[in-house]
Structure 1
Amino acid sequence: MTQVGAGPEEIPPFHRPLISYIVVVAVASLALGAVSWRFGRHPDPAPLLLLSAMGILSFSVRAPEVGSRIGFSFLSIILLSSAAILGPFGAWFVGVVSVAVDRRARAWLQAVFNVAMTSIVGAAGAWAYVLASGEYAIGGLRGAGVLAVEVGLPLIVADVVGCITNAALLSGVIHFHQQVPVTVVFRRVLATSGVAYVGYGIIGFLFVILWFPAQLGAFSAILVLAPLLAARWAFIQYGEELRSHERTVDTLVTALGTKEPPAVERSRRTARLAEWLAEELGLGPSQIGTVRYAATLHEIGRLGVPVRLLRRDPATLTPAEHQLITHHCAQGAAMIEGIDFLEEARTGIRHQGERFDGTGGPDRLAGHDIPLAARVVAVADRLEELSRAPGWAAGRSSSAIVDALRQETGRFDPAVLEAARSVLEKHGLPDHGMGGPE
């Protein structure tokens, strides 16, 4: 399951739309719990307590966050099993108690949302199991075919509903918090957790089969813990790989900063703008990552430019010296050659100096032959440059800022400029001292 992993400084306590959304989700959770108690089956106390304990354990050993302010736990397996073993109210209750005991939630908004969301996901999946004609008298079922139809298929439906519900609720809270388009967050969550839900469904089905037809009862919980912990280990390795990528990028930016300290903040602001643009364009999670890496490292080629030139007034440079600086894009792409996870970002770095009309460099590409990452970085870099011009943006509307870029005829992709208008309306130009993408 995916949950919000933000701290108090990341969810403002007086952000009214965000608070309103969380209140609505919390009320919906309480209403769904009441409906589940009124119209659903009442679970037996013994399995309810056992599955609640397993839910608490699953949530307490959840994998650390891997980005986007969201972290993963394997509570979904327990919730899915609860759908067949306990029914809607039981699944709702397990969702509530599993997350309510969390002591790492530093913000009350975060805690309330995670409890409400998890309980809704549990109950929604359980009701999907009911509506898909899932069988509760599982102990009397015999035969693989019967189990597949009476239990397996309804659990698949419950798994899909739980996955979509989780992604939808998360998309809403991140939208109100960060102003990221809902569809972008929805696709990002599905891309990172959707495949995992397939595994959750398989393990959940195994849990139910061991509990009833195999007549192992509570002992089946022990057998399920092994694949659960193995899956957690695999996810931690994936998270560590992503963190290793971030450390590599940070090292490159730090190296640039030792030569040209202001370049560090320029890179971070450009990366933030590029990420906003990519989200506004509706790019997928992988493409957004590529754009962010390209923007963060868009000036890395300046490592190959003599310091004396970087410190000179551009107006005093000779044509040859000016050309040396402007060709840092190709040098930067060459510097990161061989780093596999940056391979797609290389084209964004190399071609950021191309012009949409084909008169740029280094390869005089035109239109959509220019890699999308390069077209986005070009606009982000220009906006970041304008943000450093003293008083330039003061009092200007987003339309006026974008119109100023349009006056540089033939330089930028019109679609990216249109996205820039929306980005500036939502976020404005980044302030100096602003941190990088989170």
Structure 2
Amino acid sequence: MSAVVILAVLSLLASAAQSTRLATPSASVSLTSILLGAAIPLTGPLGAGIVGFVSAVDPLQKRSLVVRVFNVAMTGLVGVVGGFVYLGLGGIVHADATFDPLGIVARQLLPLAGATVIMLLVNTGCVSLMISVTGGAPWLINWRRIVRQVGRTYLGYGIVGLLFAVLWDPVGLGPATVLVMFVPLVFAQWSYAQQHAEAVAHERTVASLVAAGEARDPIMKGRIERVAKVSELLGNQLRLSPAEADALHFAALLHDVGMVAPIEGRHRNNADTRADNLERIRRHPTRGVEMLRSIEFLADSITAIRHHHERWDGRGYPDGLAGPQIPQLARALAVVDAFCALVPRVGEERAMEQLRERSSVQFDPECVEAMGKVSSAAATIAQADHSGHEPGEVVGTEQAVDERWLDHDLPEVSDLLIADRSRP
């Protein structure tokens, strides 16, 4: 009983201190996860449920009643489920000093590892569902993103929780374990806080570059964020790895940043001419790479940014790559770009028809097929466009290219660039 009380009080204090936060809306993992992991082998399912319940009370945080009830119910459920999984895998509660290292591994480490995985899935699943219900992205997209962001940290907390439990019971330190674990817990908090600060810095860097791009090109205002969201849907359908999904996310946000670079050459004194606009469009992928090359965390996104206007038939730019030579993330981004440009003008059905007509010509057929499977959800995101045209309005090639600001993501503009390049 003393273990339950001590762990519950510590969880309440840790929650009130807002120990560690993730850089994702409505989702957080704190050091209370360590105490919850320790509660399972020390107190069993009921005790873990109590510790989880108390850890979510968070009396100093001003939240709505619905959010409070959700957090308390979710964390209590996670503790109970983790406890029963632990027992189901052969875990033992209150291991005594007679346990040898192999016994600890077999009856505590392995069962708690399994329980931690299930707790991670339940926790992130509940949070993802709540985000989706309250107007966020589809549940599966949220779930993949959150698991990618917190998975390793959550599992690491489970290992530290096991250490806490081993020191408490088999080693026999009891409540003195709190004093022994204080420094490691503080270090874990500091380490994750540094990761969080770095992630925030990355997001701010990207946000400032996106704002600069939108200010330069009115057509792209708001669309960049929608392209990033639709890219998540397509990346999920293509079963991208977590690292690839992150790279595609940043590439989607920054692939048109090269459009802000000034025009150089023969038309620089008349920046509104069609020739100047075509030149800006043709050169923006390489200019974007030049602008972003020195930013280390974007290294995996650079190739997608450079090649997102390559064509499957090899007539794209800047390097004329063809077919599988084009990096997969660039191929995916090209399809998303065109889809988000087309939907507000011609609607979802006609947009997909145009993509399929250009499959194996301009676009990767696999990416087009994958987009077709998520087109309904993607169209809902892409429809909220502010390009100056009414939803469903058809904009043909001539209307698209005679405007002051060319929407270079429209497929017909790609044809225009090919024709312009072939002129003597």
User: TM-score scaled by structure 1?
Assistant: 0.77
Question: Which residue of the other structure, out of 180, 187, 192, is the alignment partner of 1:235?
Answer: 192
When residues 110 and 373 of structure 1 are mapped into structure 2, their CA distance, relative to the original with a 3 A threshold, is farther
CA distance in structure 2 between the partners assigned to 1:135 and 1:416 by the alignment: 49
CA shift, 1:257, in A, is 4.4
Partner of 1:379: 335
In structure 2, relative to structure 1, the CA distance for the partners of 1:179 and 1:193 (3 Å cut) is: closer
User: Aligned equivalents of 1:414 and 1:74: distance in 2?
Assistant: 46
Distance in 2 (CA, whole Å) between partners of 1:93 and 1:321 is 64
How far has the Cα of 1:324 moved from its partner?
A: 4.4
1:55 aligns with 2:4: no
Superposition map of 1:285-364 within 5 A: 285-306=242-263, 317-318=274-275, 322-364=278-320
Query: Structure 1 290/152 Cα, relative in aligned 2: closer, same or farther at 3 Å?
Result: closer
1:147-206 CA distance string (max 9 Å, x none):
333433333333333233334444444455535362x54444443333224432332222
Q: State how far apart, in whole Å, the 2-side matches of 1:105 and 1:280 are.
A: 38
Change (3 A) 1:218 1:333: same
Percent identity between matched residues is 31
Aligned to 1:206: 163
What is the aligned partner in structure 2 of residue 180 from structure 1? 138
Please state if 1:403 is matched with 2:353: yes
Contact 2:259–2:280 (Cα < 8 Å) also in 1: no
The match for 1:431 among 384, 391, 395 is 384
1:231 deviation in Å? 0.9
Following the alignment from structure 1 to structure 2, what is the Cα–Cα distance between the partners of residues 87 and 311? 75
For 1:327 and 1:279, locate their aligned partners in 2 and report how far apart those are by CA, in whole Å.
30
Asked if the contact 1:91–1:119 (Cα under 8 Å) also holds between the matched residues in 2, the reply is yes
| Amino acid across the alignment from 2:350 | A
Question: 1:366 Cα deviation (Å)?
Answer: 1.7
Change (3 A) 1:213 1:263: same
> Matches of 1:311 and 1:296 in 2, distance apart?
29
Q: Quote the Cα distance in structure 2 between the aligned partners of 1:347 and 1:154.
A: 43
Q: Distance in 2 between matches of 1:82 and 1:426?
A: 41
Q: CA RMSD in A?
A: 3.0
Structure 1 counterpart of 2:112: 155
Which residues in structure 2 correspond to 1:32-181 (within 5 Å)?
44=1, 46-60=2-16, 61-67=18-24, 69-104=26-61, 106-174=63-131, 176=133, 178-180=136-138
- Residue 90 of structure 2 aligns to a residue whose secondary structure is coil
From 213, 220, 231, give the equivalent of 1:256: 213
Deviation at 1:385, TM superposition (A): 2.6
Q: 1:414: which partner in 2?
A: 365
Q: Matched residue of 1:178: which SS?
A: coil
Q: What is the number of residues matched between the two proteins?
A: 380
Structure 2 vs 1, CA of residues 259 and 174 (structure 1 numbering), >3 Å: closer, same or farther?
closer
8 Å CA contact 1:80–1:126 kept in 2: the answer is: no
For 1:415, the aligned partner's letter is E
Change over 3 Å in CA distance of 1:311–1:285 after alignment to 2:
farther
Residue of structure 2 in register with 1:9 after alignment: none
Structure 1 counterpart SS, 2:96: helix
SS of the residue corresponding to residue 56 of structure 2 reads helix
Letter of the 1:404 counterpart: Q
C-alpha distance in structure 1 between counterparts of 2:179 and 2:307, whole Å: 55
Q: Secondary structure of the residue that 1:87 maps to in structure 2?
A: helix
Judge conservation of contact 1:94–1:119 (CA < 8 Å) in 2.
yes
Query: Post-superposition shift, 1:107?
Result: 4.0
The change in CA–CA distance for 1:277 and 1:155 in structure 2 (over 3 A counts) is: closer
In structure 2, the CA distance between the partners of 1:283 and 1:102, relative to structure 1 (3 Å rule), is farther
Paired letter, 2:187: A
Post-superposition shift, 1:108? 3.8
2:357 is matched by which residue type in structure 1?
Q
1:403 Cα deviation after fit: 0.4
Q: 1:255 to 1:81 in 2, by over 3 A?
A: same
Tell me the equivalent position of 1:369: 325
DSSP-derived class of the 2:28 partner: strand
Residues 110-119 or 335-344, more deviating: 110-119
Q: Which moved more, 1:72-81 or 1:198-207?
A: 198-207
Is the 8 Å Cα contact of residues 187 and 284 (structure 1) preserved in structure 2? no
Superposition deviation, residue 292 in structure 1: 2.1
CA drift of 1:208 comes to: 1.8
**Alignment CA distance shift 1:323-1:88 (3 Å):** same
Equivalents in 1 of 2:169, 2:260: separation in Å? 65
1:350-381 CA-partner distances (Å, limit 9, x unpaired): 11111112221222212222112212222222
What is the CA–CA distance in structure 2 between the aligned matches of 1:284 and 1:310, rounded to whole Å?
46
Aligned to 1:283: 240
Does the CA-based 8 Å contact 1:274-1:292 persist in structure 2? yes
| Structure 1 moving runs of 4+ over 6 Å | 307-313
Q: Structure 1 residues 301, 311: closer, same or farther in 2, change over 3 A?
A: farther
